[in-house]
Chain A
Amino acid sequence: MQRINIFCLVFLLISVTKTVSAQNSPYQLTIDCIDSLLGEPVSNCEVKIAELNIIEHANQFGQVQFENLPIGQYRLAFKANGYHAFHKAIEFTQSMGIQIQLCPLHIHLHEATVSESNNTSFFKSKLYGINPILNKEHLFKTNALNWSQLLKALPGVYLIQTGPVNSIPVVRGLHTNRIVLVQQDIRLYNQQWGLEHAPEIGTANIDRIQLLRGPLALKYGSDAFGGVLLNIAPEYLKTAVIQSNTQMGFHSNNRTFSVAEFIQFRHQKVATQVSFSYKKGADAQSPNYVVSNTGFQTLTFQTNLLYLISKKATLENRFSFFQSKMGIAAAAHIGSTSDLYRAIHSSVPLLVAPATYNINKPYQDVRHQQYSCKLNYQLSKAHAIQGVYMLQYNQRSEFDKGVAWSNQSKNEPANAYHLLTQGLQFIYQYNTNQLQTEWGIDCVNGKNLTTGIQDPFIPNYSQVSTGAFGLTTFKYKQATIEGSYRFDYKLQQVYYRDPSNKVNAPQFNYTGNSFGLGVAIPVVSMANFQVSALKAWRAPAINEMFSNGLHNSMASYELGNVLLQTEQAFNLEAGMQFKWNKTSIKTNVFMNAIDGYIVSVPTGQVTLTTRGSFPTFQFNQQDAQFKGIEISLVQLIGSRFKFSGQAQLLDAIDKHTRLPIYGIPPNQLYASVSYFLFNKNTQSQLEFNLDWNAVNSQLNYIKELDFMSPPPAYHLIHFAAQVNVKQKFKIQFQVKNIFNVAYRDYMNRFRYFFDEPGRNFTIQCSIQI
């Protein structure tokens, strides 16, 4: 353990700033505290000069300043939550600035001979601008009702909603099958094809979330060209202690209360983490009425166990359980086309009842269980191997209101999907100062069984995917270069009955290559330029080929298309990060060309049913082009104020017809002013935030594709106050939508039926022991 891995070296870069000497020795010491992994400022850093017994704290840019410091030799002690303590001796003879790169705690998991790597992936991208991260502080401030809501602070991320609580992430206009969700390095296999299928991910055990868009995304699949959302758990404890974190919250709008507990302890060679969370909410309230049957409850449990077999080997077991029951807004569940038109033309939902915690039909009941076992073996300092087995079982039951004449209809789900997935992965890792590389193979087998009293919307299927990948990152002078390659083979077999009840079992094979290349170059000391290119592909999903049924809330009849070919995507992105004094600007420009983009489009025909005549939609392919720009600005004003702004612009068109792609997030702006107060005696920080969020109306749309024009632009103002005591105790109070604005969001699939929730007072606290 005495040999420190090259990754864990704390770099000290000293740049001396000459100043004109003054009469009273007005020298100052400026220190920039940077996360050695992310390259981002460490704002919670505390620096102590032992000889003078003075302590200073970093500002939001990770900057610490000691004014009027006498000449002398000092020992600086750095302390920051989540980072290794660090000491550095300096000889202070004149004003100077130094940069300290603090090493995150989990980095030591890769140290020397023992690899305790667990919750974090071994291989990390250095293209921070292209792969943004939300840290724990961000996650806490969001006070989200579900996992998807945590992501809204990530640039380029929007949400598709089906009601006030149910949501899935959209990254630069791409969603569902084009986004890969990863929980502690294990890919989530669920019924991801559905817009109303919220990801089965609990929030109690998440330390950070990273959106991976660069070359390293290919580790998790060739279909990751929309982005990989990595959920990273806290690192295991390394000393024999018990640590717990309790979090509680309440939302006034839908009376949601939540409790989450995270406990971890270490006993010799065993490190354990256990988390549990429970959330329950009643019907949401828009400014003018209750949105009935939008209550929900979510229960999650997760346990991770790490065992150090020897100095070179570790074994890790993980088990998680997620269960959610969520009401489908009663007003959105229509039975026929007439119902839809009546609902659209009614100023209030056709079904409004007093708010209640009861969840009535229609609702969805979802369970997800996941088990994984990972064995790490460190062959030598630079070489390591890893084997992972995972098993996931996803059950989704969708209950319709049903009909009075069927007893089955009263008790059984309309459709229930049972998806069992198993996977194996073997990885070889090579790690030196200049070069890191990872090579691996994986094999995943999934089987879906559809039951229920209605004809299946998607049929039974089994599929096998095998892949081989290589990822590399290396330094060349000042530049960091990342590259990746992946080969995949996918076999899908579908089983369905035709109207005469005969079983058909067509089979489909796909193979493809994917690769990516990215470069980060420091242009000048204040600016960093990054560029990334990614070529990837995706096989058509089962729903896109075989869906067959009514979309109740969309009043459309959706048909699959067995003739679909693979989607071929090419992403190109460039980012520039600029930081000067108290100003930080980040800009990302991207272009995402997807040939054979699979989308459900109207056929111009209607399907006549006993529920009325519905416009028929069928999955088809077009050559799509997504392009956009994201700009963010952080400006410190004095030592107490911070201004943040963010703009997201996105445009998506068919390359040939130049017509817009359906359902793309509108442009939006976000601005925030924060005020900080820090009390050195109590080590507490008080923070106030005033946020403004403006979402434009979607101006690029095809009138014939929708029942309603996109809703108008809207502005929302939010306020938050937060107290943070020694990073141990946090309490936050928020008012969302202060002015109780009645509005509808284009990305809410239920926007035809009711307004978004109104004013919401929230309170939450977190206690760490």
Chain B
Amino acid sequence: MHKLVFFSLVASSFIACNKGDVSQPQMRNNEEQITTVQINAFKTDKPDSVFGIVWRDLDGFGGLDPKIDIMQLQANTNYQWHLVLLNESVSPVDTISNEILKEADVHRFFYLPDSAISSLVQIHILDKDNQSKPLGLNAAIQVSPLLNNLTSANGNIRIILSHYDGIPKSDLPAPESDMEIEFPVIIVR
């Protein structure tokens, strides 16, 4: 009988206790999250005239809809922009774009104008990683003139952050993306 009791105790000891109090859920503190994508853009011939375009979702996935600025570009104009990625849900605010710059070898941004404006907008990546492969935090945007009968054109630019985890970086997006957002674009004369 003593052996039996001993056996029971040994068996019970394997059962770990539940850590923590279920009535106190862990704080929301998602380090992985990107809440804000800010584009700091300027006309190439006017480097001082910087304007910001922001995509922001402070409460993360779900909940309230994100706030998205409209990107207004002028036809027949060249721009450059710099992307800043933030996690504003943590304190202090985490500048994720700095981390991406450190891990540039496994990341790449893709800028994909949709079919409505793809003939008008050409985007070229300016920055490179250590292997001289494109990164995309900095880009040049060339907006072509509008056709004669148009006063404006509307479309979207999709920005994808590809993560090349365990596979070589290429000109094709990786199978898994870390970020994918879309800005509405209006091109005016």
- Chain B 162-189 against A: per-residue CB contact (8 Å), 1 yes, 0 no? 0101110000010111111110000000
- Chain B 144-166 against A: per-residue CB contact (8 Å), 1 yes, 0 no? 00000000000000101001011
**Residue in A338, A339, A351, A557 whose beta carbon sits within 8 Å of that of B62 in the complex:** A557
With the chains together, A495 CA to B21 CA distance in Å? 10
**Residue in A343, A351, A455, A612 whose beta carbon sits within 8 Å of that of B28 in the complex:** A455
Binds A, one of B12-20, B122-130, B131-139: B12-20
Residues from chain A with Cβ under 8 Å of B176 in the complex: 333-335, 339, 401
With the chains together, A321 CA to B28 CA distance in Å? 32
CB proximity of B17 to chain A, nearest CB, Å: 7
**Residue in B3, B23, B177 whose beta carbon sits within 8 Å of that of A505 in the complex:** B23
User: In chain B, residues 26-75, which have Cβ atoms closer than 8 Å to a Cβ of chain A?
Assistant: 26-28, 30-35, 37, 55, 57, 59-63, 65-66, 68
**Residue in A305, A403, A455 whose beta carbon sits within 8 Å of that of B61 in the complex:** A455
User: B108 at interface (Cβ–Cβ under 8 A)?
Assistant: no
Residues from chain A with Cβ under 8 Å of B16 in the complex: 369, 393
Residues from chain B with Cβ under 8 Å of A202 in the complex: none
Residues from chain A with Cβ under 8 Å of B34 in the complex: 610
When the two chains form their complex, are residues A404 and B14 in contact, meaning their CB atoms are under 8 A apart? no
Closest to A362 in B: B176
Closest to B106 in A: A404
User: In chain A, residues 442-490, which have Cβ atoms closer than 8 Å to a Cβ of chain B?
Assistant: 447-451, 453-456, 459-462
When the two chains form their complex, are residues A449 and B22 in contact, meaning their CB atoms are under 8 A apart? yes
When the two chains form their complex, are residues B22 and A495 in contact, meaning their CB atoms are under 8 A apart? yes
**Residue in A315, A393, A607, A608 whose beta carbon sits within 8 Å of that of B18 in the complex:** A393
**Residue in B15, B19, B61, B66 whose beta carbon sits within 8 Å of that of A418 in the complex:** B19
With the chains together, A406 CA to B3 CA distance in Å? 50
Residues from chain A with Cβ under 8 Å of B3 in the complex: 270
**Residue in B17, B24, B158 whose beta carbon sits within 8 Å of that of A495 in the complex:** B24
With the chains together, A307 CA to B5 CA distance in Å? 11
Closest to A409 in B: B32
When the two chains form their complex, are residues A499 and B28 in contact, meaning their CB atoms are under 8 A apart? yes
User: A559 at interface (Cβ–Cβ under 8 A)?
Assistant: yes
Residues from chain A with Cβ under 8 Å of B94 in the complex: 405
User: In chain A, residues 482-514, which have Cβ atoms closer than 8 Å to a Cβ of chain B?
Assistant: 495-497, 499, 501, 503, 505
When the two chains form their complex, are residues B15 and A607 in contact, meaning their CB atoms are under 8 A apart? no
Residues from chain A with Cβ under 8 Å of B18 in the complex: 393, 418, 420, 447, 449
When the two chains form their complex, are residues A317 and B181 in contact, meaning their CB atoms are under 8 A apart? no
User: A350 at interface (Cβ–Cβ under 8 A)?
Assistant: yes
Q: Are A611 and B179 also in contact (CB < 8 A) when A449-B19, A495-B25, A499-B59 are? A: yes
CB proximity of A543 to chain B, nearest CB, Å: 15
With the chains together, A396 CA to B182 CA distance in Å? 35
Residues from chain B with Cβ under 8 Å of A495 in the complex: 22-25
User: A594 at interface (Cβ–Cβ under 8 A)?
Assistant: no
Total A-B Cβ pairs within 8 A: 181
When the two chains form their complex, are residues B32 and A402 in contact, meaning their CB atoms are under 8 A apart? yes
User: B93 at interface (Cβ–Cβ under 8 A)?
Assistant: no
When the two chains form their complex, are residues A611 and B180 in contact, meaning their CB atoms are under 8 A apart? yes
When the two chains form their complex, are residues A335 and B23 in contact, meaning their CB atoms are under 8 A apart? no
When the two chains form their complex, are residues B22 and A610 in contact, meaning their CB atoms are under 8 A apart? no
When the two chains form their complex, are residues A317 and B7 in contact, meaning their CB atoms are under 8 A apart? yes
When the two chains form their complex, are residues A453 and B32 in contact, meaning their CB atoms are under 8 A apart? yes
When the two chains form their complex, are residues A336 and B177 in contact, meaning their CB atoms are under 8 A apart? yes
Q: Are A339 and B175 also in contact (CB < 8 A) when A321-B14, A611-B180 are? A: yes
Residues from chain B with Cβ under 8 Å of A339 in the complex: 173, 175-177, 180
Residues from chain A with Cβ under 8 Å of B35 in the complex: 610
User: B100 at interface (Cβ–Cβ under 8 A)?
Assistant: yes
User: A689 at interface (Cβ–Cβ under 8 A)?
Assistant: no
Q: Are A451 and B26 also in contact (CB < 8 A) when A350-B175, A404-B107, A420-B17 are? A: yes
Closest to A305 in B: B7
User: B8 at interface (Cβ–Cβ under 8 A)?
Assistant: yes
Closest to A373 in B: B8
Residues from chain B with Cβ under 8 Å of A305 in the complex: 4, 7
With the chains together, A561 CA to B3 CA distance in Å? 51
With the chains together, A303 CA to B182 CA distance in Å? 57
User: A371 at interface (Cβ–Cβ under 8 A)?
Assistant: yes
Q: Are A405 and B61 also in contact (CB < 8 A) when A319-B14, A333-B176, A447-B22 are? A: no
Closest to A316 in B: B4
Residues from chain B with Cβ under 8 Å of A607 in the complex: 61-62
When the two chains form their complex, are residues B178 and A403 in contact, meaning their CB atoms are under 8 A apart? yes
With the chains together, A401 CA to B179 CA distance in Å? 13
User: A549 at interface (Cβ–Cβ under 8 A)?
Assistant: yes
When the two chains form their complex, are residues B12 and A403 in contact, meaning their CB atoms are under 8 A apart? no
Q: Are A405 and B28 also in contact (CB < 8 A) when A305-B4, A610-B57 are? A: no
Closest to B99 in A: A405
When the two chains form their complex, are residues B179 and A453 in contact, meaning their CB atoms are under 8 A apart? no
When the two chains form their complex, are residues B32 and A454 in contact, meaning their CB atoms are under 8 A apart? yes
CB proximity of B125 to chain A, nearest CB, Å: 18
With the chains together, A575 CA to B147 CA distance in Å? 74
Closest to A462 in B: B22
Residues from chain A with Cβ under 8 Å of B99 in the complex: 404-406
**Residue in A353, A404, A450, A559 whose beta carbon sits within 8 Å of that of B163 in the complex:** A404
User: A165 at interface (Cβ–Cβ under 8 A)?
Assistant: no
When the two chains form their complex, are residues A610 and B15 in contact, meaning their CB atoms are under 8 A apart? no
With the chains together, A138 CA to B63 CA distance in Å? 50
User: A640 at interface (Cβ–Cβ under 8 A)?
Assistant: no
Closest to B103 in A: A404
With the chains together, A343 CA to B172 CA distance in Å? 13
Q: Are A351 and B14 also in contact (CB < 8 A) when A557-B62, A610-B180 are? A: no
CB proximity of B159 to chain A, nearest CB, Å: 10
Q: Are A371 and B12 also in contact (CB < 8 A) when A453-B30, A495-B22, A501-B27 are? A: yes
Q: Are A351 and B4 also in contact (CB < 8 A) when A418-B18, A609-B57 are? A: no
With the chains together, A330 CA to B176 CA distance in Å? 9
Residues from chain B with Cβ under 8 Å of A350 in the complex: 175
When the two chains form their complex, are residues B22 and A461 in contact, meaning their CB atoms are under 8 A apart? yes
User: A337 at interface (Cβ–Cβ under 8 A)?
Assistant: yes
CB proximity of B112 to chain A, nearest CB, Å: 8
Q: Are A307 and B24 also in contact (CB < 8 A) when A335-B176, A447-B18, A610-B180 are? A: no
**Residue in B32, B68, B165, B177 whose beta carbon sits within 8 Å of that of A338 in the complex:** B177
When the two chains form their complex, are residues A401 and B163 in contact, meaning their CB atoms are under 8 A apart? yes
Q: Which residues of B contact A (CB under 8 A)?
A: 1, 3-4, 7-8, 11-12, 14-20, 22-28, 30-35, 37, 55, 57, 59-63, 65-66, 68, 94, 96, 99-100, 103, 106-107, 158, 160, 163, 165-167, 173, 175-182
What 5 A-B pairs come out closest when comparing CB atoms?
Answer: A405-B99, A336-B180, A350-B175, A319-B11, A335-B177
Q: What 7 new A-B contacts, CB under 8 Å, besides A270-B4, A331-B175, A418-B20?
A: A393-B15, A404-B103, A404-B163, A409-B32, A454-B32, A501-B28, A609-B66
User: 25 A-B pairs, CB-CB below 8 angstroms?
Assistant: A334-B176, A336-B160, A338-B158, A339-B177, A343-B175, A369-B15, A393-B15, A404-B103, A404-B106, A404-B107, A404-B163, A405-B31, A405-B94, A406-B32, A408-B31, A447-B22, A449-B18, A449-B20, A607-B61, A607-B62, A609-B57, A610-B34, A610-B57, A612-B177, A613-B182
